[in-house]
Amino acid sequence: MINSYINQLIDYGINNKLLESDDIYYAVNKILKILDLTSFKREKNEEMPVFNEIMENIIDYAIEKKVLKSSTIAAKDAFEAMIVDSLLPRPSELNRIFYQKYKTGPMTATNYFHDFSKVTNYIKTERIKKDIKYLYQGKYASLDITINKSKPEKDPLDIISSNHDNSKYPMCPLCMENIGLYQTDNLAPRTNHRVVSLTLNHEVDKWGIQYSPYAYFNEHIIVLKKEHSPMYVNKKTFEELIDFLNKFPHYLIGSNAGLPIVGGSILSHHHFQGGRHDFPIEKARVLTTIKKNRMKVEVLDWPLSVVRIVGNNENKILDLVGQIFDFWINYSNESINIFSKTDTLHNAVTPIVKLDGANYNFYMIFRNNYTNKEFPYGMYHPDPSRFHIKKENIGLIETMGLAILPGRLEEEIEMIKKVLVNKESIDSYPELEKHGKWIKTMENKDLDNIDEFLKNEIGRIFEEVLEDCNVFKYGTNEDFINFVNKAIY
């Protein structure tokens, strides 16, 4: 049977343009080596199962023959990535194809690379389908709620410590050393990992693009500096983002803030995230518009403090964004608890850019990572009373209104239903201890439609989590608008 499975996989490779006929025995022999086999017969496939089925059969064979000695998900994923790698072009070939397609248009090139990342199962399409997704009609906009079942929850304090480990190979999941790497433990499998080279802001081939294996939204792309060097968010970053948009105008692109607590999970490696998706923030109401130099600065009605700078002149946009950035970095207002500096700098910005026709829409989301005894996780971090729903850093994707909530919630919701509807004792479910106070508030509510009710509750708490991160939350909208006016003039 294994001979048929290999034949099926080879045909899958040919049908999906991963292999050409010249490559067949080259690929077969690599697979034979991995599976510890010594012969093969090319045969016509009677049926053509889907990728996952072929791969499951091959992996079952490998486990049965003890070629693969562990059957954990991580071990199976790594083994699958190694088998798939046998079908793939070398990175340089992929680059050539990508740039050949780019001549037709940037979207032709990214469509090709995105499809490639799906057919190689680098993007875990089937697993992503299991994520729970729904809309929550919030106060500001309809928010995208996702319960992410494929990625483990990280503690913000672990993120700070893991960013200091420089002895690992590769040093982080974004490093170029991951390309083709066989990996079974804490990092995602990378043998089938490919990066396309990119020139950004005149730095020739110093950058790369890849897709996220656990796409949080459509065509979730990661743009990374090839060199493992720390994230920075400053005027240079803004130029890099705009340059990316000029090269790939159909994408949105943004960066996490460059400081711990308010930044993303990998601060040690400069990178951006983007994709082809309309985010809730784009539909936010405009509280006030200030005109400046043929641009519009819109103060948005959003749970976090955010302005959108709109204009079609790249240099003017960069000047104005730079000016607002400089003003914010040094801005303190102790009467409303904004401390720009103690022993370190606390003010930061989450920048995001998207094109709307000829106009750049440049979002600047103001952030601050000040901590004190009362707020060890951060004054502008999710409040600990909401950690049961969301404890992790609020990164750029979430600031735009797309929640990425921990996968454990799926099971916990089922337990909560048993407590609320069937009146089971909460003590029978130790996992629910952290939800105790929340469950109490729901006990006397109308629970006829418990599923909808809980979905709304979770959406509401996520919205509050975003409000927790609002750097002007101790002041008023007027305070924020005054700040923006001062920053511009």
Q: Rank residues 67 and 171 by Cβ distance to Zn ion and give the closer one.
A: 171
Of 176 and 447, nearer to Zn ion (C-beta) is 176
Q: Which residues contact 376 (CB under 8 A, 6 or more apart)?
A: none
Binding segment for Zn ion (CB under 5 A), chosen from 267-275, 286-294, 299-307, 358-366, is 267-275
Stretch of residues binding Zn ion (CB under 5 A), selected from 16-24, 169-177, 397-405, 474-482 = 169-177
Sign of the CA dihedral with 396 first, then 402, 408, and 409 last: positive
Assess contact for 369 and 262: CB atoms under 8 A.
yes
Chain center to CA of 204: 26
HEC per residue, 472-487: CCCCCHHHHHHHHHHH
The string of DSSP codes covering 356-381 is ETTEEEEEEEEEE----SS-TT-TTS
269 binds Zn ion (CB under 5 A): yes
Q: Supply the minimum distance, in Å, between the C-beta of residue 241 and Zn ion.
A: 20
Instruction: Using the rule CB under 5 A, give the single segment among 18-26, 59-67, 261-269, 320-328 that binds Zn ion.
Output: 261-269
Binds Zn ion (CB under 5 A): choice among 62, 128, 172, 295: 172
- Least separation, in Å, of the C-beta of 223 and Zn ion? 13
Residue 332: CB minimum distance to Zn ion, A: 33
- Under the binding rule (CB under 5 A), the answer on residue 188 touching Zn ion is no
Does 222 interact with Zn ion (rule: CB under 5 A)? Answer: no
Cα–Cα distance between 363 and 191 in angstroms, integer?
Answer: 36
User: Residue 229 or residue 449: which is nearer to Zn ion going by CB?
Assistant: 229
Looking at 130-138, 227-235, 303-311, 394-402, which segment touches Zn ion (CB under 5 A)? 227-235
- Give min distance, CB of 420 to Zn ion, in A: 45
406 φ, ψ to 5°?
Answer: -65, 145
- List C-alpha distances in Å: 423 to 142, 409, 418, 457: 32, 19, 6, 19
Least distance from Zn ion to the Cβ atom of residue 209, Å: 15
Choices 161-169, 175-183, 293-301, 444-452 (CB under 5 A): range interacting with Zn ion:
175-183
Least CB distance to Zn ion at residue 269 (A):
3
Binding status of residue 62 toward Zn ion by CB under 5 A? no
Contact 377, 189 (CB under 8 A): no
347-356 and 252-254 as β-strands: parallel, antiparallel, unpaired? antiparallel
Q: Cis (ω within 30 of 0) for the bond into 303?
A: no
User: What is the rounded CA–CA span in Å between residue 10 and residue 381?
Assistant: 50
Residue placing its CB nearer to Zn ion in the complex, 395 or 475: 395
How many positions of this chain bind Zn ion (CB under 5 A)?
6
Nearest to 407 by CA among 58, 8, 128, 5: 128
Q: Does 175 bind Zn ion (CB under 5 A)?
A: yes
What is the token pair recorded at 442?
């729901």
> Applying CB under 5 A, does 271 fall inside the site for Zn ion?
no
In the sheet with 132-137, reading across from the earlier edge strand, the strands are: 132-137, 142-148, 402-406
Closest separation in Å from C-beta 229 to Zn ion: 8
Distance from CA of residue 377 to its chain's centroid?
A: 22
Query: Minimal distance in Å, beta carbon 312 to Zn ion?
Result: 35
Q: Choose which of 2, 88, 119, 174 interacts with Zn ion (CB under 5 A).
A: 174
For position 416 contacting Zn ion by CB under 5 A, the verdict is: no
The one among 101, 118, 206, 228 contacting Zn ion by CB under 5 A? 228
Nearer to Zn ion, 138 or 258 (CB): 258
Q: Read off the DSSP letter of residue 54.
A: H
**Residue 199 phi, psi (nearest 5):** -105, 125
Strand partners, 404: 146
What is the binding site for Zn ion (CB under 5 A)?
171-172, 174-175, 228, 269
